[in-house]
Structure 1
Amino acid sequence: SFHPPYGKFKVDVKNSDHVCSEGVSDFTTDDELYMNIDYRESGNDVFLSADFESGTYHKNSVRNEEIYMPGGTFPLAWTRSYGSGKVFVTLLGHDGLSHQNQDFQKLVINGVDWVTA
């Protein structure tokens, strides 16, 4: 996996009927957008994603390094069942700044509620 430099991006609620997205609307966050995560779509119920435009981005402004990032739609949160257990995954929440986002907080609470129900 990899990600562009830390920054703002829009998070899209793909499935507003999903139990973990209850009370969560599309929102903008300060975070890292992880890309190229090796996961299998089969059995995963993706309900949050983000679109990203391909391009060259500053990797390190101090040394003026640039890096190319591919574009696409990238999954950010999903659930699945594993045997009789439940799994909630989010790729959001890199640091305290992203944790201050009320939609992120609601997402985590919903995820914990769903897994422990």
Structure 2
Amino acid sequence: MTTRRALVVRGGWEGHVPVEATELFIPFLEQNGFEVTVSESTESYLDLDGTDLVLQCVTMSEIEDAHVKGLDAAIRRGTGFAGWHGGIVDSFRKSADYNFITGGQFISHPHGYTDYHVDVLPEQAEHPIVAGITGFDVHTEQYYVHYDPTNTVLATTTFQSHPDFPWIEGTVMPAVWTRTWGEGRVFVCTVGHKLDDLQNPDVRTIVERGLLWASK
């Protein structure tokens, strides 16, 4: 098996347990032929030559413009970019350039922890990331996001009414999507606030497949 290179970048808000969460997937990457390097800083985005996949789990925090430009250029050349929940779509809130790459930005989780269903879109049933999965139930944060209409949405979730935000009732929101960025592929799953979310068999399968799909 040809060795590929994966970079795991983690940090930011500790509530998303970036170390423990990424450690769940490092053995999977290694078993699939990746040589994995771990970084605690986005300074690693300054040199991504030869990197096939970036797995990022950095919630909030800030990023230097040069680091965003390094990441942007690498993805455009074909490096894959992937992650889940706030580690990818609630990162670097002040950087519009970063948000363009991910195709979405966290806005709120109005209900806090809540029971909700994720539906795989029937027209995406054969996509390699979700094949064989029709939907699943979780009890966790349900992300309301602003998202790019050019995303390829694989799965959605529907919001119930909230007394402070009555307009969200019935809103269908992307929960899993992909997009291309130049020659690169981007994968996002909004489920994954806590470790047991990522250990849900369907969520874990989707994330693992998403990592492989995004990699060049």
- Does the 8 A contact of 1:24 with 1:106 survive in 2? no
CA distance in 1, matches of 2:114, 2:162: 15
1:82 aligned partner? 181
- Does the 8 A contact of 1:23 with 1:106 survive in 2? no
2:67 aligned partner? none
Q: Deviation digits for residues 27-73 of structure 1, max 9, x if unmatched?
A: 101221111x222112x1001101122233xxxxxxxxxx4452211
CA distance in 1, matches of 2:135, 2:156: 10
2:148 aligned partner? 40
Alpha-carbon distance, 1:90 to partner: 1.0
* 2:114 counterpart of 1:7: yes
Q: Deviation digits for residues 64-115 of structure 1, max 9, x if unmatched?
A: xxx4452211111100110010000111100012122100000001100101
1:63 aligned partner? none
2:88 aligned partner? none
5+ residue gaps in structure 1? 57-66
Alpha-carbon distance, 1:116 to partner: 1.3
CA distance in 2, matches of 1:54, 1:103: 26
CA distance in 2, matches of 1:97, 1:109: 15
User: Highest CA radius of gyration, 1 or 2?
Assistant: 2
5+ residue gaps in structure 2? 1-106
Bigger fraction of residues in strand:
1
CA distance in 1, matches of 2:162, 2:146: 22
The Cα RMSD (Å) is 1.4
Normalized against structure 1, the TM-score is what? 0.81
Bigger fraction of residues in helix:
2
Normalized against structure 2, the TM-score is what? 0.46
* 2:199 counterpart of 1:100: yes
2:140 to 13, 31, 45: 31
Alpha-carbon distance, 1:23 to partner: 3.1
Alpha-carbon distance, 1:12 to partner: 0.2
Instruction: Give the SS at the match of 2:175.
Output: strand
- Aligned runs of 1:35-74 on 2, under 5 Å? 35=144, 37-42=145-150, 44-56=151-163, 67-68=164-165, 70-71=168-169, 72-74=171-173
1:9 partner letter: Y
